[in-house]
Structure 1
Amino acid sequence: MKKRLHNPNLAKIHRNYTVEEAAGLYDVFKGTVRAWIKAGLPVLNDKRPMLILGSDLVAFHQARRTKNKQKCKPGEMYCVCCRAPRKPAGNMAEYQIITEKTGNLVAICPECDKIMNRRVNFSKLAHVCGEIDITLPQVLQHIIDNHQSSVNSDLKQE
């Protein structure tokens, strides 16, 4: 079964939670919260009902989120399938515009042949790409900007 990362901001830091309340807060079973306690989530005391400080609950989930986080170096993109940063196949990527300032780098993973994406600010594109050969989108020409008449045109030129 796949591990699910929980939002640490759900717990209030100035509140105490029982195992049942913490399970209801994160929409998990009580056994899951007890497994968190065995994995290192601190409790106030070992007597029943076990109380968990909200600040400890927030810190526990933040630590679990940042534990496996991997930063991509320049020239690397994160492959979700391989779960590791990799250089794209053939050192080639395509830049797809999302807004005027940001876009996605799209490439193929050399290990699993799946699509890799990386969100990039256009002004930082040169730093992020490293040695990757990036293909930028071509600007489409509008019909109005074209000075040649179409072959199928019914317009008479005088």
Structure 2
Amino acid sequence: MGKRYPNHRLVKIHRSYTVEEVAGLFSIHKNTVRNWIKSGLATIDRKRPALIQGSVLVDFLQKRRTKNKQTCKPGELYCVRCRMPRPAAGDMADYSPDSEKTGNLTAICPVCDTIMNRRVNLAKISEVSGNIDITFPEELRHIVDSEKPSVNCDLK
């Protein structure tokens, strides 16, 4: 199991928490909270029990979450196996729409040969694509668009 970031929205910013209360709030071990204190989570004072201000805890968790965040530049998609943004292999990607305005870009990672993904807005696809050649799906022909629309065309 990979890293799991606790939901900072569960913390009440005007409240003080003990180590055990923080551990219970996020369903984690109390030694994890003690390790956070050793790595920079500030306590109210040096006395026991160690009290942590809610607003300080929220700031600590948000900084911890954004520290490892990597944004994709134009022409890059995120590879989950490599855990970093990479350019598409062969500079090719496929677009699969989810709605009228948004969809997913899918490509192959040039390093580990797994599928990479990137969520994209169709209006901003030219900014995101960089030098990638994007393949858009062809729409299926509807029966109304044919010259002689007939449901029974196979029964001639």
TM-score, normalising length: structure 1: 0.92
- Structure 1 match to 2:155: 153
Q: Does 1:24 align with 2:24?
A: yes
Alpha-carbon RMSD across the aligned residues, in angstroms, is: 1.4
Identity %: 60
- Structure 1 match to 2:128: 128
Q: CA deviation at 1:145?
A: 1.8
- Structure 1 match to 2:140: 140
- Structure 1 match to 2:63: 63
Superposed, 1:1-158 pairs within 5 Å as: 2-148=2-148, 152-154=154-156
**2:72 & 2:142 partners in 1: Cα distance?**
38
**1:54 & 1:5 partners in 2: Cα distance?**
16
Any unmatched runs of 5+ in structure 1? none
Task: Considering fraction of residues, name the structure with more helix.
Answer: 2
**2:46 & 2:111 partners in 1: Cα distance?**
48
Q: How many residues were matched structurally?
A: 154
**2:129 & 2:140 partners in 1: Cα distance?**
24
**2:88 & 2:31 partners in 1: Cα distance?**
41
**1:104 & 1:128 partners in 2: Cα distance?**
12
SS at match of 1:63: helix
**1:3 & 1:79 partners in 2: Cα distance?**
16
Q: CA deviation at 1:153?
A: 2.6
Q: CA offsets, 1:103-154, max 9 Å, x none?
A: 0000010101111110000000011001000000101101232125776334
**2:66 & 2:56 partners in 1: Cα distance?**
15
**Range that drifts further, 104-113 or 5-14:** 5-14
Which one-letter code corresponds to 2:44 in the other structure? Answer: L
The runs of at least 4 consecutive aligned structure 1 residues that moved more than 3 Å come to 148-151
